[in-house]
Chains A and B, each alone.
Chain A
């Protein structure tokens, strides 16, 4: 869906649902998912519909994902870090995770 301009930052690797995803320094988690062509980042807690990042500026809460074991993080506000473990969030969040 999106392609990267040549000048992007240094390579950083994270995992998404256990799979390695290459991204760049300066990416947020939401941007990294989009750049990797990952269709959706969560399913809703109401009907289970798939959702993807929408506003990328912290207001819509569509990009909620689990980051390093903590659920419901706004992916567009969290910069990627080497080795970060991102998981898509399926339906309602599990308490304690």
Chain B
């Protein structure tokens, strides 16, 4: 590979990486995406596919605004992808629920929302606590144990696997070079360009965007950045395809456009991607049946576990390197929700070579030092 063949090397071929790569290609950049292989630990194949707003921002109010920006951009983003690829990622924003199965759960929910929305400087958006009767008007199939829930009209969902395929289709159409089985081992800056050492040889690029999920923890220090992560495992249960019965996604249960019902969402410390805890699936199933009793005799066709990409405080990290100008981190848990931002806001900044402080300064990893010092 001759020098300067690429303007930007994106490290990571998951949703964050390909959304960023697509955005860069739209800005006219020559882009290469370096990815791992078929058996990679890949959150983009294991996520829950919500484009979700409610509950976001407790502890970092700017995150609520950043999330809403993406949620608002999502419709146009999906439409553009459809025009470019012919693939419909089935983005819908009908508003979504948290359901409570006891008064205690409902109270806990109300408390969290109150703390969230009482934060100084938080963008004003509506999340409503609803009584059971109100919920039942919108979700007629809820079970008798559902006491109520919270509803946010900005919540939506998408077919995230189709989004993943669509973005790969779109980057190919835009001339992005996609190199699977090119795990990046080393990154150095030599002269004006970055050299990325992979098992299949060296790739050179003018800039580098680290979008490798939890692996950013390993990669970021190579270019004077940091990405403190704390990966965790989540499990999902999926049913056979059913006729549509659910008009709104619930944070732990949603019906896909294909008809399957996805049920989540657990958090475990274990980060063994092959492991699967039946008791966790059982708890998810039990709660799903209590929420929607009509699902009792529906067949489960799959379960899986995946490793969440999670920064240490749960909020995104967007940074540019002071020691290695041209190196950026794009790192977050919510690769689906924030896909529109990564494609339409973050990528253009990287293309221009500098992050806009007004947009993403709160998400610098420098915040971890402030907290540590404080």
Contacts and interface: CB of A to CB of B under 8 A. Distances in A.
How would you classify the secondary structure of chain B's contact residues: helix, strand, loop or mixed?
Answer: loop
B240 A72 contact: yes
A9 interface: no
A72 B241 CA distance: 10
Contact of A93 (B141, B242, B292): B242
14 contacts: A45-B241, A70-B297, A72-B240, A91-B243, A92-B242, A93-B241, A93-B242, A95-B141, A95-B242, A95-B294, A95-B295, A96-B294, A96-B295, A96-B297
A95 B241 contact: no
Contact of B240 (A70, A93, A96): A93
A7 interface: no
Nearest to A45: B241
B294 A92 contact: no
Interface in B287-315: 292, 294-295, 297-299
Contacts of A91: 243
Contacts of B297: 70-71, 96
Q: Count chain B CB atoms within 10 A of each CB in A92, A95, A96 and give the residue with the most.
A: A95
Interface of B: 141, 240-243, 245, 259, 261, 292, 294-295, 297-299
A24 B294 CA distance: 34
Contact of B243 (A46, A72, A95): A95
Interface of A: 45-46, 70-72, 91-96
Contacts of A96: 294-295, 297
B259 A45 contact: yes
A89 to B, nearest CB: 11
A95 B245 contact: yes
Across the A-B interface, the 6 shortest Cβ-Cβ residue pairs: A96-B294, A45-B241, A92-B243, A95-B294, A92-B241, A95-B242
A92 B259 CA distance: 7
A78 to B, nearest CB: 14
B38 to A, nearest CB: 24
A45 B294 CA distance: 19
A70 B242 CA distance: 13
A93 B242 CA distance: 5
Contacts of A94: 242-243, 245
Nearest to A90: B243
Contacts of A93: 240-243, 298
Contacts of B294: 95-96
